[in-house]
Amino acid sequence: MHLKNKIAVVTGAGGGIGTALCEMLIREEVSLVLIARTEENVNKLKKKYGREHTYYASDLSKRGDLLKLIGDLKKDLNHIDLLVNLAGIGIYRPIEKVTRTELDASFAINVSAPFILTKELLPQLQKISNSLILNIGSGAGVIPMKNRSVYCTTKFALRGLSLSLSEEFKGKSPSFCLITLGSTLTSFGVGNALTLEEKREQNKKGSAYFTTEWLANKLIEIIKDDKRTPEVVLYPNNYGFGTWKKT
């Protein structure tokens, strides 16, 4: 996919990966439609990227917010070239400590939002012959991990969704690509997750993490590749059973 002058919708635009990816997309002269959870976050994005792009505040854990967002996108966008389902929540707790609110939010953001956005925005995506939906998954969607049952469950579900839709839309538009992603230097995670500073300290001691800048460059490379596979696995060299080595 040639990116210049394309329209890209990005959820989770205010996070660590989202920030790095948006900066790369702007360098590629992409017109961005950025979705963040709160008006405060949206205002920060406007200040950072300017008013030539489009912004929406939407808490994807709330069905009303999601449906309003979809209505606004349908009204405001004639077509969409790229949809990046990047928004996510990671609850890292033993099952007895997981709250029902955390469970519901995890499924709403990690599974239902990508499903509903995909379904409802198909008319805008199908106006383009080579549109793409990029879903950001996790090694936790392949590798079972203790104290991460909620997160693993939602990422297993997202993987099934993305790969199933790849089969359903084979040879048609949009195409689908799932990024099965290993450890990255962000503050992502709630519960017993490491802080960003703790991850940086571990990284100095030899634990492998991708930087957001490296990852954003890799995602741009994947988006541009019209021969991309339905799933791309990116693991640091000591992540789980992964063999991907950062170059």
Q: Which residue has the tokens 């170059």?
A: 247
Question: According to the model, what pLDDT value does residue 245 have?
Answer: 37
Secondary structure class of 18 (helix, strand, coil) = helix
Q: Is the pLDDT of residue 155 over 50?
A: yes
Residue ranges in the chain assigned as alpha helix (H) = 16-27, 39-49, 63-76, 100-107, 113-120, 122-125, 149-168, 196-204, 212-224
Which two structure tokens, joined as six digits, stand for 51? 């008013």
User: Which domains can be identified in the chain, with CATH numbers?
Assistant: 7-234 (3.40.50.720)
Percent of the chain with pLDDT over 70: 94
Question: According to the model, what pLDDT value does residue 238 have?
Answer: 56
| pTM of the predicted protein model | 0.91
Higher pLDDT, 61 or 246: 61
Query: How many residues would you count in the chain?
Result: 247
Compute the average pLDDT of residues 125-144.
96
Dist. CA 236–CA 123, nearest whole Å? 37
Question: According to the model, what pLDDT value does residue 246 have?
Answer: 36
Mean pLDDT of the chain: 92
Cα-atom radius of gyration of the chain, to the nearest Å? 17
* 180-233 confidence digits (pLDDT tens): 998 887 767 777 777 777 777 777 776 778 889 999 999 999 999 999 999 999
Dist. CA 109–CA 90, nearest whole Å? 10
Higher pLDDT, 23 or 237: 23
How many angstroms from the chain centroid is the CA of residue 79? 20
* 65-107 confidence digits (pLDDT tens): 999 999 999 999 999 999 999 999 999 999 999 999 999 999 9
The least confident of 45-49, 118-122, 204-208 is 204-208
* 167-185 confidence digits (pLDDT tens): 999 999 999 999 999 888 7
Q: Is the pLDDT of residue 242 over 60?
A: no
